Structure 1
Amino acid sequence: MKPADLNQVSGFRRRFRITPYENKVCSEVEDDYHCMSVTLHHNGELVTAVEADMQRAPWTTCPGAQQKLEDTFVGVALQSFSERGEKQTNCTHLYDLALLAADHALDDTQLVYDILISDHIEGNRYAEIRSKGDTLLSWTEKDFHLVEPEALAGTRLDKLGGWIRTLAETEQEVAKLLRWGNMIAHGRSIPLEQQSDATKMPPNCYTFQPQRAVEAKRVGVIYDFSKGAKVPLEH
């Protein structure tokens, strides 16, 4: 049975914060395993500089992705970020932050998303994404497949792309962020020693490319924000 408030149960927490300024925009994320930010400097159309910061990352090789992100997006039009490609050769988290920043670079106000994924409750995980205290999207997942809503029952988390493309643009953003957060949350149920050999991972990010996977070592502090001692991005 779904809890009345996911804030009251143990689980994964992730916060995105996108803040537009004059001629620049900063996009930040923090969760159990990551604390990162991307700042895009722009002239209203083109990105003139990219700054990436990794305060907390899970692998020794992750910081090298900061230069890769700059190489990928400097000189690219804000409206063309989603067409750029090269996500799997970048840090996927920095890449997503860059896309969020570009999409909201000309906004007037700050945008914050909170993602909450429960740990297993009678075999299910319950997932929500909120903004300003309002729930924008929620679903129930079990063994990497959706259980609810009924229309999506049986669909794998990584096979939601077709459904997401049917949504309005703002709803697509919300669904993508919730899907990705739900996938990352699975790490909470996998012993650390079983997820600490990069050579066993598919080559779907900067660190997991074969030439770096052999050198990557698991590092970094892991927080459990659901215990209430810390709040993502509170600093």
Structure 2
Amino acid sequence: MRAAEDWGSGVTRRAIRLSGSPGRVDAAIVDMRHDMTCTLRHDGQVVTAIEPAFHRYTLQVCPGASAPLQAMVGMSIDTTTKDVFAGGRARLNCTHMLDIAWLALRHANRGNVEWIYEVAIPDAVSGALRGTLTRNGEVVQDWVVDGQVIAAPPHLAGQSTSAGLMRWLTSESRLPDLEVEECLILSKGFFMVGARRFQLIEGPLSEGYRKNVSGACYGYGPERIDTAIGLTGMGRDFSHDPESLLNGLYKDSTNR
């Protein structure tokens, strides 16, 4: 992968909207590479329908991930985060769509409220990265990450932002449930730093790239990775225009 020419002068940004109403939650995610929405319907006890929509995504095969997401229909709205992601569910789904479906499931018990999460991680040419997560404008997580290891805050120090973080947060950390949610959202923001640091892949995937990512998610599944094609025109830079990022959360909202 080729390095992005503007690395060092921007910000990795991601925004997530969770909007609750009777019997449904509307969720949306927007960042430099993705624009997706998911409506989760429920009867107060279980998921009765789930309606994903892919507006901007990486590979032409990504929308097919709508099918495995349907396995969440019938799931209790009280299902734990650990159980939502159990059994390799993330590898069978689109990572980003599953994330907002999981968040919509969690939001189903919060009533008629709207939450907006925003991730902001300024580029760092050298040294550690500092990233924040806000909820409705209030900072709820503030991390320093050196390489892929959290250096601050102290109670998270030493944990990897990638390998094993889900297991540690959901099985060992004893952190409050809401903080687990926050930590997972911000960790995915740090995962997206690579999408700012390197150029968007367009066209057929190279053999070396396919080897590195095979099996990581639905789009990179072994049964379809050989035919996966990186789409053109899907990248956006919200580094210096966070308002456009937030406006994207409400795009076509009347049709959702």
After TM superposition, is the score higher than 0.5?
A: yes
Choose 24-33 or 40-49, whichever is displaced more: 40-49
How is 1:25-64 mapped onto 2 (pairs within 5 angstroms)?
A: 25-64=25-64
Choose 159-168 or 219-228, whichever is displaced more: 159-168
| Backbone CA RMSD of aligned residues | 2.3
How is 1:77-156 mapped onto 2 (pairs within 5 angstroms)?
A: 77-80=76-79, 82=81, 83-84=83-84, 85=86, 86-107=89-110, 108-156=112-160
Code of the residue aligned with 2:74 in structure 1: it is G
Choose 168-177 or 103-112, whichever is displaced more: 103-112
2:200 to 192, 200, 218: 192
Deviations 1:41-93 (A, max 9, x none): 111112111100010001111010012212x1112221226424322101111
Q: Secondary structure at the match of 1:12?
A: strand
Deviation at 1:191, TM superposition (A): 3.6
Q: Secondary structure at the match of 2:69?
A: helix
Specify the alignment match of 2:189 in structure 1.
Answer: 181
Deviation at 1:19, TM superposition (A): 0.5
Retained in 2: the 8 A contact 1:81–1:99? no
Q: TM-score, normalised by structure 1?
A: 0.87
Retained in 2: the 8 A contact 1:61–1:216? yes
Retained in 1: the 8 A contact 2:39–2:52? yes
- Structure 2, unaligned runs of 5 or more: 1-8, 252-256
Q: CA separation of 1:206/1:224 partners in 2, compared to 1, >3 Å: closer, same or farther?
A: same
Deviations 1:80-119 (A, max 9, x none): 2642432210111111111111111132310110001111
Retained in 1: the 8 A contact 2:169–2:180? no
CA distance in 2, matches of 1:94, 1:81: 18
What is the aligned-residue identity percentage?
Answer: 27
- Structure 1, unaligned runs of 5 or more: 1-8
Q: TM-score, normalised by structure 2?
A: 0.80
